[in-house]
Chain A
Amino acid sequence: MIVGGVDPHLRSVRLLEKPIPHEKLCRELIRLQSTTASSTSSSDIYIPNRIERSPTDILKALESTISRDYTAPHYKFHDDPYLTPLSKSQIRNYALAKESGKKTAMWIREEHHNLFQHKVADPEIKAFVPPPIYTEESKVTEETLLYEISNAHVSNSVSIYNLLKGEVTIPTKQALLELLCFYNHDEPANVELLESRWFQLREKRIKNTWISRPEIDILFQFLKEQEPAVAAAAYNAMICGLAKYYNGDKVWHMYKECQENNIPLCIEAYNGIISMVSILREGEDKTKSLITDIYKAMATNGITPNIHTFNAALSATSMLKNKRIILDLTCNIFADIAKFKLKPTLTTYYYVLRILNKFDDAAYTPFIKILKSLKEETLTIQNAKDLYFFFVAMEMASKQLCERQAGEMVNELLLSGDNYKFIGDSYKESLYYRAYLELILATEEFETFYKIYSKLVPHVTIPEPSVMKAMLETLQLYPAETAIQYIPKLWSHMIMFNHLDTQYLLESILHLMSVHCKPVSDSSLNAQFAEIALIIWDHIQTQNAKKIQHIIMSNTIVGNIIVLLLRGGNFDKVKEILSLLIESPHLIVGILMEDYVHEIFELCLAQAHTPIIFSLLEYITSNHLEGAGEMARKLEKTISLTPTQKDMLINLVGNDILELQLSNELNEAK
């Protein structure tokens, strides 16, 4: 508990720092000392100044000694096998459940705010204090309004403004307008709730989400009528807000209004206008002239563009379709960036990647150049679009270029320094790792891939079904001995990540086990494969029992399951499956294919397991498949049947076939 006394070094520093009254005694003490001391005098002692550090610097320094432990789950989860999430849904549930506790605490603090008026914390912790509620009775002033605006409480600010009946100074009105334009209809996201943000799915489509509020209109109408500087600020706020919520038409309308009335706009407003160019859909050719017009307007008003201006221009360019125009515009923009000596941000590169996406293989050289230039920089976040860079880059490296080197460069850049924060959210992270894994799978040997895979899975990422499918399909290209090593590992991962409901994955792994890696008949693998097949069958049955809508299996899945079970010697289960198929043929798509039927027959015949053969014959006849007679004959020949069994056989395949057979036999006997 006690952090420490004072070490002699610090103590001496403190001693020297003492103010005047003690200095005398101190000096006297030291003088008296030095008269007796012969070797050194106090003037020789040089005590260096303390190295300044922030309260968290030591923690950060200690943190830098630790690297990522790939065997451990993310630190937000418990490091315990019973409490570690295994699948994507579990990760989401566990993390959000933890956060919901936080949310509950916040809710209780709000709901019962009268119980949280005690002040135990010193210095006061704002987060512990329940948010104030403003009613008719509460005394509010302009200061309260300004305080709420600075805390970005939209609804509170509006209610205080209404309580004050709009009697506030012009700067306050401007601040309120800016707040309302920035947040429009939504409250600011709580920075405490990291997990909600991490798992939130963001609106992908660009569409007009601006909601016109009466407060905004009244404030704007009022401020517009004031002196030019105030009006300009109001226009700036409105244009920025409208551009943020993609209301292109209104932005353009306001811009025209400003031009007509000679209202000077600020750089942010111009940036907003440029970013709206692509939304206006004025046609390919007009984009360029529109951007040039805005540039000219900026130049006449004496506004120097910043990097966000060119980012907005690039975003407009990336929406175009004509490659010539795109190339032309991009070159111009980069020439301008160089002219104004600006530093491109990640957003700039993100738009460049979007543009390069249209150029297929020609994109390779600029792509590598971008990565090389980014490698030497310390990246800082400047725009929301910065978070899109890494996953787009990885997807490009994977799908467009299919170049391991490029992908590794992107990955290295992501892992270097503090760059991992640019991964964005869980959705982007999973897109990123899907692209990364697919790239390595496509370009490397499976062994190399599996090394990287086992490092990343399951704690960094969990493969999606599509990745799993790609892996299983790749395994089919390898010889059986190689593929067979990986089947148990991939199978356990499939169970772990809840992939058993995905039909195409079941199909792939069953195909691998029954066809590609078919073990010899006396191998112990048969029993293991039969076990897997049994798990799959049982899983489907339990799912069917739970749900009203049944899972409809494909015929290959069922065929493979039966074959694997037979090879593993689990005849009872096969009998059960066949009788289920006869009873409810709607559970599978189509009917068992002939190859499977024959294999099942052969396997049963070899084991002389007549009940299954009878079920099989029943299935064949009920589904009007061919070959029943032939099988019956073969059965007759190889196995000596009891009279009852013969009767059953005759019932199943009809007397004529057997008669024929019997007559043949008689003939032979004669």
Chain B
Amino acid sequence: MLSFRLRFKASLPQNLSKILKLFATRSNILETNSNESEQFRVLDLYPQTKVMQEKRKTRKTSIPPSRATNMPTDQDWPSVWPGARTFHPASVPLPLRQGYQEKGASPNKYANAELMKIPNFLHLTPPAIQRHCEALKQFCTKWPTVLENEEICSKHFPIEIISSDYCYSSPTIRDPLARIVNLQVKLSSLYLDTHAKDKLLRLLGNKYNPETDIITITADRCPLRKQNLEYAWYLLMAVYHESWRVESWEAEKSIADMEYFDWDTSQSRTSLVTLYTWPIPPTDYDYEIIPHATEYKIAVSDLINNGEDQYSVNKYKEAVKNLLNLKCDNKE
């Protein structure tokens, strides 16, 4: 600013008018600017030439036509699309359309996200699968002729062992879930008597599925699959042999310990026979001679074993009525 003043003084006589004019225009501009920001004022003696920024030229890239246009009609498709891959319009010579538009036809295959989203099976065409099967046959052995159907298989090989292998892209090949081993066997394929079966089911608890008749033993407490497998085998053996063993305390089982109501050993039977032969005390508790006794037995057992509901209560009522020879008045 100082230098300007000096120059201003020096050149005052010559170009006074010019400078005045300049000041007038400058002050106008500065006034408008000072409202906006409170910075030092800048004196521009020469108006700044606007530097025209050149637009960046977009380089033209020449794109060859998609290779789908060059494909012969008798080409070997499995070689063109050998593996699972996201859909690509330039490699698939099919006029595919996918998606929805309000008006007009569905969008075509180019830049179509709908086609890229869905998994395709272009690599698994029937000829490709057939060829894969032919190629893999060299690693397969013949199926044993005797094992014709599933029934025979499960008969000869009743035990099924299920474990899972995991395969994904990661530096480690270990997966903790691979250690879990499932051992399945049908209850009917084990040799058991009533006691053993009863004991086995008690021991198994929820490991037994009564609907499918399958015992499932899952072992996952050891770190390795082999250890888990051996443990599962051990568990099956242990539970099997344990169920066959009869302990001395099992003879001490009283009615209160019974897991179900047995009418033959119950008080109900004694009472019924005693009542029937009354006043003579019964010599044996044979209930066959009592009319409707079997019906009564079934009704009582059902009522206690299966729980009370309208049906069983009604049945019991009918049985008692029949037994006591009480007939409905209106019926008579």
Contacts and interface: CB of A to CB of B under 8 A. Distances in A.
A496 B61 CA distance: 11
Contact of B75 (A14, A49, A71): A71
A81 B64 contact: yes
B147 interface: yes
B152 A65 contact: no
A302 interface: no
B161 A14 contact: yes
Contacts of A33: 155-156, 158, 189
A3 B166 contact: yes
A15 interface: yes
Interface in B57-71: 61-67, 70-71
Contacts of B147: 45
Q: How large is the interface on B (under 10, 10 to 19, 20 to 34, 35 or more residues)?
A: 35 or more
Given A1-B167, A6-B163, A61-B135, A42 B67 contact: no
B146 to A, nearest CB: 5
Contacts of A86: 62, 64
Contacts of B308: none
B78 interface: yes
Contact of B79 (A49, A61, A67): A67
A15 B157 contact: yes
Contact of B160 (A11, A29, A67): A11
B198 interface: no
A57 B172 contact: no
A25 B237 contact: yes
Interface stretch (B38-46, B137-145, B317-325): B137-145
Nearest to B134: A65
Contacts of A496: 62, 64
Contacts of B158: 29, 33
A116 B83 CA distance: 34
B12 interface: no
A69 B80 contact: yes
Contacts of B150: 8
B146 A44 contact: yes
Interface string A579-608: 000000000000000000000000000000
Contacts of A53: 139
B155 A123 contact: no
Interface in A9-61: 9, 11-12, 14-15, 18, 21-22, 25-26, 28-30, 32-33, 37, 39-40, 42, 44-51, 53, 57-58, 61
B306 interface: no
A62 B132 CA distance: 6
A45 B146 CA distance: 6
Contact of A66 (B82, B153, B162, B174): B82
Contacts of B140: 51
B171 A120 contact: yes
Contacts of B164: 2-5
A106 interface: no
B168 A69 contact: no
A325 B81 CA distance: 56
Nearest to B69: A71
A123 to B, nearest CB: 7
B202 interface: no
> Which of A8, A29, A67, A72 has the most CB atoms of chain B within a 10 A radius of its CB?
A29
Given A65-B78, A81-B63, A11 B161 contact: yes
Nearest to B174: A122
A502 to B, nearest CB: 18
Contacts of A11: 157, 159-161
Nearest to B165: A3
B237 A21 contact: yes
B76 A67 contact: yes
A404 to B, nearest CB: 23
> Which of B67, B128, B167, B234 has the most CB atoms of chain A within a 10 A radius of its CB?
B67
Interface in B73-131: 75-76, 78-80, 82, 88, 90-91, 128, 131
B190 A29 contact: yes
Interface in B244-263: none
Contact of B236 (A3, A25, A37, A72): A25
Contact of B189 (A4, A29, A46, A62): A29
Interface of B: 61-67, 70-71, 75-76, 78-80, 82, 88, 90-91, 128, 131-132, 134-136, 138-144, 146-147, 150, 152-153, 155-168, 171-174, 185, 189-191, 230, 233-234, 236-237, 240
7 contacts: A1-B168, A3-B166, A6-B162, A8-B157, A12-B157, A29-B189, A44-B146
Given A12-B153, A15-B161, A46-B144, 10 more contacts: A1-B167, A8-B153, A15-B157, A21-B234, A42-B156, A51-B141, A66-B79, A67-B79, A69-B80, A81-B67
